[in-house]
Amino acid sequence: MNPKNHPYITPPSVVSQIAQLPSLGMTEIRALWRHLFCADTPTHSRPFLERRIAYRLQEIEFRKVDHNLIDRNNRRIKNILETGQNKKRDRNYRPVAGTVLTREYQGVIHGVLVTTDGQYDFQGRMYPSLSMIAREITGTRWSGPLFFGLKPSATPKAASKKGVHR
- Do the domain assignments include residue 78? yes
* Residues facing 121 on adjacent strands: 113, 126
Domain boundary pick from 18, 52, 87: 87
- Do the domain assignments include residue 73? yes
How far apart are the C-alpha atoms of 112 and 121, rounded to whole Å? 6
Average pLDDT over the chain, rounded to an integer: 82
Looking at the fold, whether 29 and 76 belong to one and the same domain comes out as yes
Q: Which long-range contacts (CB under 8 A, 24 or more apart) does 28-35 make?
A: 29/53
What is the span of the domain harbouring residue 137?
100-147
Question: What pLDDT does residue 3 have?
Answer: 46
Looking at the fold, whether 126 and 68 belong to one and the same domain comes out as no
Total domains in the chain come to 2
- Do the domain assignments include residue 137? yes
Model confidence pLDDT, tens digit, residues 91-120: 666 777 788 889 899 999 999 988 877 789
Model confidence pLDDT, tens digit, residues 16-43: 899 999 999 999 999 999 999 999 999 8
